[in-house]
Amino acid sequence: MNILVCIKQVPGTTEVKINKETNTLVREGAKGIINPFDTYAIEEGVKLKERFSGKVTVLTMGPPQAEASLRESIEVGADEGILISDRAFAGSDTLATSYVLSKAIAKIGSYDLIIVGKQTMDGDTGQVGPEIAQRLGVPFVAYVSAVEEITDGKIRARQMIDEGYQIVESPLPCVMSVSKEINTPRLPSIRGKMKAKSAKLANWTAKDLGAEENKIGSAGSPTWVMQIFSPKRDHQSEMFQGDAQSKVSKLTQKLSDMKVI
């Protein structure tokens, strides 16, 4: 099986600075980590490779330092890494990001399964996976918590829904997003660390992908951020004294005054 895993490097801190002029995150100086949901995507790719044999290729679109996340993926069992990096990608929204990733996947050419995390910790839209599927014209299976079987060119998976889960079947190739219930990501092995250190990673630019200028970066992004800010928490508390009966009546009176009830 040819398995592709898309991962994003995100700031490993909540203390991220914001560029007030462009309303974008200032990523310089913030140590990057693999988006936590994507560690489950990598682990599932490696587990499926161990179960059905094949190869796991990890892709990331990001700045040059995202290379470290590709090496970390190889430490835990991925075979190859591709860094998709170009200044022309700066300012990309999810539409432009999925365009670039789908161009890279088309360049790889042959694949059976593409695994993504269910969302990122910073952008948090959960849009990139379904957009890649749409662009490639393949099915999208969301919120997978277990892969039951892969046989006869089909995948049967357990999909989380509000009421519990349902079993879904999809032809391959498809894009699948995974939830954290699917596995427990392994720790790197010494062998993996040595392999990752010397691994030769591919580095693709906009030109390598034949990406159209008006579909990448700010020019290719129909959405933009109007304002970005940390929410102010305005907690007020009031303690009611007395016995239980009087506390309840004071509380209901208060809620009624506030027109909550």
CA atoms lying within 13 Å on the CB side of residue 185? 23
How many Å apart are CA 12 and CA 25, to the nearest integer? 13
Q: Determine if 8 is a binding residue for ligand FAD (CB under 6 A).
A: yes
Q: Which H or E run contains 89? A: none
Answer for which of 2, 24, 65, 203 binds ligand FAD (CB under 6 A) is: 24
Tokens of 42: 């990598």
Cβ(132)–Cβ(98) below 8 Å: yes
Tell me which stretch binds ligand FAD (CB under 6 A): 36-44, 138-146, 201-209, 228-236: 36-44
Answer for which of 129, 173, 192, 220 binds ligand FAD (CB under 6 A) is: 129
How many Å apart are CA 205 and CA 203, to the nearest integer? 7
How many Å apart are CA 56 and CA 77, to the nearest integer? 8
Tell me which stretch binds ligand FAD (CB under 6 A): 67-75, 122-130, 159-167, 241-249: 122-130
Helices H, strands E: what count in the chain?
7, 13
CA distances from 180 to 118, 138, 258, 260 (A): 9, 23, 40, 36
Number of residues that bind ligand FAD (CB under 6 A): 35
Q: What part of residues 202-231 is at the interface with ligand FAD (CB under 6 A)?
A: 221, 223-225
User: Please, which residue, 95 or 250, has the CB nearer to ligand FAD?
Assistant: 95
Q: How far is the CB of 253 from ligand FAD (least distance, A)?
A: 44
Q: Determine if 140 is a binding residue for ligand FAD (CB under 6 A).
A: no
Q: Which residues pair with 224 in a beta bridge?
A: none
Answer for which of 33, 47, 68, 91 binds ligand FAD (CB under 6 A) is: 91
Site string for ligand FAD, 60-79 (x = CB under 6 A): xxx-----------------
Q: Determine if 34 is a binding residue for ligand FAD (CB under 6 A).
A: no
User: Please, which residue, 98 or 170, has the CB nearer to ligand FAD?
Assistant: 98
Q: Determine if 56 is a binding residue for ligand FAD (CB under 6 A).
A: no
Answer for which of 26, 90, 248, 255 binds ligand FAD (CB under 6 A) is: 90
Cβ(82)–Cβ(184) below 8 Å: no
Sequence-distant (6+) residues with CB within 8 A of 124 are: none
Q: Using CB atoms within 10 Å of the CB of residue 46, give its burial: 0 to 12 exposed, 13 to 18 middle, 19+ buried.
A: buried
Positions that interact with ligand FAD (CB under 6 A): 6-8, 24, 35, 37-38, 41, 59-62, 90-94, 97, 101, 116-117, 119-120, 122-129, 221, 223-225
